[in-house]
Amino acid sequence: MSKQIIKQPNGKYCIFDPYFVEIVAKNCDKKKLINTLLLEYLPKVNNEVVIKLHQLEKEDNPIMYPDSSYDKLMKQIENVKGMREAKRINKIMRK
């Protein structure tokens, strides 16, 4: 369960962890709130990126595999922006 950002009566913010039922940070202005959350989430995001890069590097050419995330990305671009834009981006990505 993710943490909740709650606006306090004094106009500042607190971070509440509903899993442990505790306030993680209190009386934060926007800058402190962002920095506090970044300190928590950056290592997690970094780890996820490192794992994903490792998975992609294990394949000789991950673009060629039909279940790859690249194919899903291109399908999403095609659905949102159309076939022409998807082809343009695909051409750029394969250079």
Per-residue confidence (pLDDT) for residue 16, from 0 to 100: 92
Q: Are 12 and 29 in contact (CB under 8 A)?
A: yes
Local confidence band at 92 (pLDDT 50, 70, 90 cut-offs): confident
Find, among 70, 82, 5, the residue nearest to 37 by Cα.
5
Find the range with the poorest average confidence among 2-6, 36-40, 59-63: 59-63
Burial (0-12, 13-18, 19+ Cβ within 10 Å), 36? middle
Best mean pLDDT range from 7-11, 17-21, 45-49, 67-71: 7-11
Evaluate if pTM is beyond 0.75: no
Q: What is the mean pLDDT of residues 19-34?
A: 92
